[in-house]
Structure 1
Amino acid sequence: MRRPTLTSSAAVVATALAGTAATDVDSTWYRRLDKPRWQPPGPVFGIVWTGLYALLAFAGGRGLRLAAPADPAYARAFATNLVLNAGWSWAFFRAHRPPLATVEAAALAASTADLARRTARLDRTAGRALLPYAAWTAFATVLSGEIARRNRG
């Protein structure tokens, strides 16, 4: 991989755009959902995700540079994480399936923890940069699960 930082950044931007394309917080369906009081206000999500995507691009670039070509499994783990990341928005906002989105969020949280572990083995600083992402995806799993529970039936 000749330009891992560029590759990582482009992949993260594509992921963010794919997730954004599916997200519709103004839809009647979303507005009618029973959401917990502890859900952060809408603008917080954009601010948090912007920072998390920057950290993901940084850490992914360093991980890809250090792993490739000796460890193609790292690139697969990174790509899988990005697919899961974008997939949550499609499961939740487009398919209107909070239970499926909860499963997706749990898979993303597990993938993120694994990616942080793999990255830390290559570069401690880059691995630590993924810890906020791991924490946020764990929180997103709990939030998705609570929304799914409150809106059964």
Structure 2
Amino acid sequence: MAAQVKGGRSPWKMALITVPAIVIIGSLMGYLSNSGFENGWYAILQKPSFQPPAWMFGVVWTILYTLLGLALAIILQEPPSKQRRDALWLFGGQLALNFAWSPIFFGLHMIDVAFLTVVVMLIMAIATASLFRRLKPVAGWLMLPYLLWLCLASALNYETGRLNPSADAAPLGITGVRS
């Protein structure tokens, strides 16, 4: 009972490429930028009261990257069209921002720049999910948990900057003002 798309093609073979690629690259970017609570700079920062526990981030991102890989595989199996091309460009753009966020935040300690990055990423991801939904509804729905998590990530990023204004290596005056 494999899911079929137009023309009888199954997205599962494509997902064997897209899912591991997105999970591996996302994980690698986090690892290379020393993301998470083990990061010495981040460990000493004051955290928002609604911060999830440390263990949750790896679990959630693995699930979200898997869902993104499945959504991408489904859209890649759709017949070529302007709408598909636009959706794929948006997907690639928001994913590039996603992969850049950890190095910006954890590696470069640029809290405001990371906040702008996650906001633009969220806007692009909403547009991507909308186009995916028009092409293949299940692909759009697969992005919903990601959109919700990006909302949380935006709030966490903002609050971290607000609580730690002197920790930003390149303050833009968005999340906090140095005293």
- Give ranges in structure 1 of 5+ residues lacking alignment: none
Aligned to 1:84: 97
Indicate which of 111, 117, 121 corresponds to 2:134. 121
Shift of 1:22: 1.3
SS at match of 2:165: coil
8 A contact 1:67–1:74 mirrored in 2 = no
Find the residue that maps to 1:23 and give its secondary structure. coil
- Structure 1 window deviating more from structure 2 (89-98 vs 68-77): it is 68-77
SS in 1 for 2:91: helix
Q: How does 1:131-150 map to 2 (within 5 A)?
A: 131-150=144-163
How far apart are residue 17 of structure 1 and its match?
2.0
Structure 2 residues without counterparts, runs of 5 or longer: 1-12, 167-179
* Equivalent-residue separation in structure 1 for 2:80 and 2:25 (angstroms): 21
Provide runs of 4+ in structure 1 moved above 3 Å.
3-7, 67-71
Matched position secondary structure for 1:66? coil
Q: Is the 8 A contact 1:85 1:108 kept in 2?
A: yes
Please give the alpha-carbon distance, in whole angstroms, between the structure 2 residues aligned to 1:100 and 1:72.
28
Distance 1:65-1:16 versus aligned 2 partners, 3 A rule: farther
Distance 1:126 1:99, change over 3 A: same
Bigger Rg over Cα: 2
**What CA distance in whole angstroms lies between the structure 1 residues aligned with 2:79 and 2:34?**
33
User: 1:26 is paired with a residue of what secondary structure?
Assistant: coil
State the TM-score, normalizing by the size of structure 1: 0.89
Aligned to 1:104: 117
Tell me if 1:56 matches 2:68: yes
Q: RMSD across aligned C-alpha pairs, in angstroms?
A: 2.0
Deviations, residues 97-125 of structure 1 (Å, cap 9, x unaligned): 11111111111111111111111011111
Q: Please, which moves more after superposition, 7-16 or 88-97?
A: 7-16
Match of 1:15 among 26, 33, 38: 26
Higher-helix-fraction structure: 1
Distance 1:69 1:9, change over 3 A: farther
Partner amino acid, structure 2, of 1:5: A
Question: Matched residues, percent identical?
Answer: 31
State the SS of the aligned residue for 2:132. helix
Report deviation, 1:18: 2.0
Letter in 2 for 1:62: I
Instruction: Tell me: higher relative CO, structure 1 or 2? Use CA pairs within 8 A at least 6 residues apart.
Output: 1
